[in-house]
Amino acid sequence: MNRLTGIGVVLFAAFLAQADTLTLSDGREVKGRLAGFNNHQFEFMPLDGTPIMEFPLKIKSIIADTPIRVDMDTILNTYRAVNFVSFQEKVVHFSAGGENNTEPVIMLKRIMVTPPPAPPQPPPETVVPQARVSPVGDPRGISPSGAAPRDWVRSGKWKEMEARDTYLISKGEEVDIESFLKKGYVNIVHFHYPKAVASIREGNYIETLVAKRGNRTVIQRIQCPDFNAPICVALGIKSLPQFWFYDSQGNLVTKLTSRFTEGDIDEALKQARRGGR
């Protein structure tokens, strides 16, 4: 098995639910998954499983369905764990730490795609419940159920929790976030992408922390269907999920946009509870 075929099989299995778009210079479009860049050629795995290796001059664009975590080496720079967004007009567009960046393809040496771990698959009869949240647009911060959250478990199936202190403030439409912040409380704004395992997993972890800390911390959830959602366009959001932490005075203290370890979340919440000090 050659290198491209080996990479392609892994990526095709891991990213089957996503479909990037490769547009060739002759106008032909191919749906599939970016597999990397090596030997001056982009590697692309179409949904039919037949690998494509093509030089940039023969490619009009590559648009990622959602940003792809990659390591990237150029002649002058080295980037680790950044998000590939697109290749257009001979320029690679990517984001890191909430900042958008570009590199001309003539400087590019290699792109190595890092596939995320595939989540455990539930049995066919399993029904994944939706999170129980307050009505969209309700700024009062009142839970409709008053139910305590289920325990967050590392093993088993990842499901969205039913949390008492989580309020849905947008389903992708543009909103004034600050008008929804609950006064006197630490507010965590979760830009939730339901297709991402990390968004469900870390969202569950945060909801468990909030439940254990009493009623002085709340979560304001923004459910983002894609990057074209008005709220994402308005705020320039190019990576999902994201977690923004506000202190009890309504000041934005910390943004987690590309790294979400439990230690990062714990520290961000601690800073917000201290008022950013």
Place of tokens 């909430």: 98
Q: What is the DSSP letter of 90?
A: T
| Domain count of the fold of the chain | 2
**42 belongs to a structural domain:** yes
Residue 202 structural domain = 166-273
Which residues touch 168 (CB under 8 Å, ≥6 apart)?
131, 133, 134, 135, 136, 221, 222, 223
Least confident range from 5-19, 149-163, 173-187, 224-238: namely: 149-163
46-59 pLDDT per residue, tens: 887 778 999 999 99
pLDDT reported for residue 149: 37
- Asked if residue 129 belongs to a domain, the reply is no
Position 277 confidence tier, pLDDT thresholds 50, 70, 90: low
∠ Cα 160 232 134 (to 5°): 40
Radius of gyration of the chain (CA): 20
Which residue from 276, 222, 221 is spatially nearest to 254, judged by alpha carbons?
Answer: 276
- Per-residue pLDDT tens digits for 62-84: 999 989 999 999 999 999 999 99
Over residues 219-274, the pLDDT tens digits come to 999 999 988 899 999 999 988 999 999 999 999 999 999 888 888 999 999 999 98
Q: Look at strands 217-223 and 186-192 and give their pairing.
A: parallel
Kind plus residue range of the DSSP H or E element containing 170: strand 166-170
**Residues 198 and 119 sit within 8 Å (Cβ to Cβ):** no
With 80 as the cut, is the pLDDT of residue 142 above it?
A: no
Which of 113, 136, 153 is the last residue before a domain boundary? 113
Q: Transcribe 252-269 into DSSP letters.
A: EEEEESS---HHHHHHHH
Q: pLDDT digit string (tens) for 21-46?
A: 999 999 999 998 898 999 999 999 88
Q: Is residue 240 part of a domain?
A: yes
pLDDT of 121 above 70: no
Contact in structure between 72 and 208 (CB atoms under 8 Å): no
pLDDT of residue 85: 95
For residue 120, being part of any structural domain is answered with no
Please say which residue of 113, 147, 178 terminates a domain.
113
Domain of 197, CATH number, reads 3.40.30.10
- Asked whether residue 211 is assigned to any structural domain, the reply reads yes
Work out whether the CA dihedral 208, 211, 214, 216 comes out positive or negative: positive
State the average pLDDT over residues 107-119. Answer: 76
Residue appearing with tokens 């409709």:
144
pTM confidence score: 0.45
Confidence of residue 160 (pLDDT cuts 50, 70, 90): low
Helices H / strands E in the chain, number of each: 5, 14
Average pLDDT of the chain is 79
CA angle 36–41–42, rounded 5-degree value: 35
Which pLDDT score is estimated for 50?
A: 79
CA distance 189 to 161: 16
